[in-house]
Amino acid sequence: MSDVRVRFAPSPTGNVHIGNIRAAIFNWLYARHVGGKFLLRVEDTDLERSTPEAIQTLLACMEWLKLDYDEPVVYQTHNVQKHLAAAEKLLADGRAYKEDKGGKGECVIFRMPKEGRLEYTDLVKGRMKKKAEDTQDFVIVRSDGSPVFHLANVVDDIEQGITHVIRGDDHVENTFKHLELFKALGATPPQYAHLPMIVNNQGKPYSKRDGAAFVGEFREQGFLPEALFNFLLLLGWAPDDNTEVLTREEMIERFSLDRCKSSAARFDMKKLIWMNGEYIRRQPREVYGKEFLTRVREAGLSTEGVDIDGIVEQMQVRTKFYSEIPGNCTYFFTEDYPFDPKGVEKRLHGEGVPEILESVAEQYDALPAFDLQTTHDVIAAMAESKGVNMGVMIHPVRVAVSGVTEGPGLFEMLVLIGREKVCARLRTVAKRLREGTL
């Protein structure tokens, strides 16, 4: 156990940006690593955007990523009286003053120091400094009587006993203001850790224009929560070796703020896709198998008479998204499998292809046994006698029997499809090629 208390303090807008949820992940891991508390505070003061649906989206997103919190959710709007009381105290102490906004009433303004330097040590960015003369007094209560973010945020952090604030570095400038507010309110400030900006390939802040930016979008696209979690952790943190895929337990054990990076973190979609594939590959076989079967059946395909375990074994290691199932392996379940036009053009429209396919079919028919070795040897012998590379046979045969250029190793695939179907497909394709209908 430790006294550490951290919080995720999102402002619900209806969508949860990955930069925000990354902050949640870092806070959660830090709390779990040190045995402290992770709290959720909903900064819902923007009443137009913080609708019940927006809050629901946020909570669902936390649940999807298994970010559990240790105390009941605090809603910032419930604390307005406390924010206003703090403003009164600051006014009474001369740390704030009122300003007349004409007919619109008065707002409350916090006094910033006028000379010297403001400094603090950021747990990620190191020593941070700012000249007092470069800062300005700022509004803490609007003329309509509503507290401003800075005041509410600091008062709530005091109220909740927050010891560490881990958030995006778009808040660095605010931190100088927040530290003065803590001091003026007689409270010990938390330690701050500002996470690096997430940037696109051009080094600009990652935004909607760069692709999916909200957690919900990744969910819809079929990313696993575990993969997204792991990927976001690596946007600003790395373990002390080259490990990239970590279990939740390993993350908790290895996480530390001093391994957080201060340089911008590049969002690499290819890496996320790879990561997703890694997670799918590591799922227990039964879990993957269940998902696989459900999707095959949903597509209206029959699994009767197929070696489903063999297919699942082959496909698990090469599935990057569940949504690819069964589109990427329809050929295991139907004779009506689609042909990829590019694959056909590249692999089947060459000279002599129908002859190759027919010759393979004839030799496969004659084999005493149809297995990995025998199916391979036929093609190896053909290549040898023609004095060509095995690829000359392998590629057309693959596209002919599967319609696509990717998938399991050819011989594994052939054995799973079965001799009868393989030979029939090879002959059908040869015929269609001759007729010019493929």
Which residues are annotated as catalytic? 208
Among 4, 6, 9, 429, the residue binding ligand GLU under the rule CB under 6 A is: 9
Least distance between ligand GLU and beta carbon 43 (Å): 4
| Total site size for ligand GLU, rule CB under 6 A | 9
Least distance between ligand GLU and beta carbon 412 (Å): 50
Cα of 33 vs its chain's centroid, Å: 21
**Interface segment toward ligand GLU; rule CB under 6 A; list 9-17, 94-102, 235-243, 367-375:** 9-17
Which among 58, 54, 4 has a CA at the least distance from the CA of 28?
Answer: 4
CB-based contact 42:12 (threshold 8 Å): yes
Dig out the tokens for 139 from the structure: 């509004």
C-alpha to C-alpha distance for 200 and 275, rounded to whole angstroms: 18
Q: Is 150 in the site for ligand GLU (CB under 6 A)?
A: no
Q: Is 347 helix (H, G, I), strand (E, B) or coil?
A: helix
**Interface segment toward ligand GLU; rule CB under 6 A; list 49-57, 163-171, 222-230, 312-320:** 163-171
Least distance between ligand GLU and beta carbon 86 (Å): 16
Q: Is 13 in the site for ligand GLU (CB under 6 A)?
A: no
C-alpha to C-alpha distance for 58 and 21, rounded to whole angstroms: 9
CB-based contact 4:37 (threshold 8 Å): yes
Dig out the tokens for 29 from the structure: 């891991």
Least distance between ligand GLU and beta carbon 171 (Å): 5
The amino acid at residue 437 is T
What residues contact 32, with CB distance under 8 A and at least 6 apart? 38, 252, 255
Least distance between ligand GLU and beta carbon 76 (Å): 8
C-alpha to C-alpha distance for 426 and 357, rounded to whole angstroms: 5
Q: Is 153 in the site for ligand GLU (CB under 6 A)?
A: yes
Q: Is 165 in the site for ligand GLU (CB under 6 A)?
A: yes
**Interface segment toward ligand GLU; rule CB under 6 A; list 5-13, 224-232, 294-302, 325-333:** 5-13
Q: Is 15 in the site for ligand GLU (CB under 6 A)?
A: no
Residues at the interface with ligand GLU (CB under 6 A)? 9-11, 20, 43, 153, 165, 167, 171
